[in-house]
Structure 1
Amino acid sequence: MTTNEKIGDARWRASLWREMAAIEQAKGALMARHDVDSHAAAALLALCAEQNGIEISEAAQRLS
């Protein structure tokens, strides 16, 4: 793997971790607001994304 490929991979991984963190933060907010468990919060987040025609990570960022 070349240096440029390693840098690209590291950037992709960092982006993925940021998206995952935003999703977890949004799930936490939904759990607190609506007194639901993690699975229900994930389902609410997915439903919100689907209804708005956006990715789950974008819905999570909007809720945060």
Structure 2
Amino acid sequence: MNFNRPTTVTTGQGDVLDALVAAYYGSELPLAGAIDLVLAANPGLGARERVLPHGVLIVMPTMCGL
């Protein structure tokens, strides 16, 4: 992955945020910290149900400066 610029991912049916974040960032960041970054970059995402519907666009923010 190129962590120098934000990327947008689209959820599939049944996706959950923690699994998407873990798959995207791998071990580059602690999972809790990575989830916090993703939630900060996606206002309202934290208010959604745990299982996300198909088609939600999620910005995976850059890791520059971390």
| TM-score, normalisation: structure 1 | 0.40
Task: Identify, as 1 or 2, the structure richer in helix.
Answer: 1
Q: Identify which of structures 1 and 2 has the higher relative contact order when contacts are C-alpha pairs closer than 8 Å and 6+ apart.
A: 2
Task: Identify, as 1 or 2, the structure richer in strand.
Answer: 2
Task: Mark the structure with the bigger radius of gyration.
Answer: 1
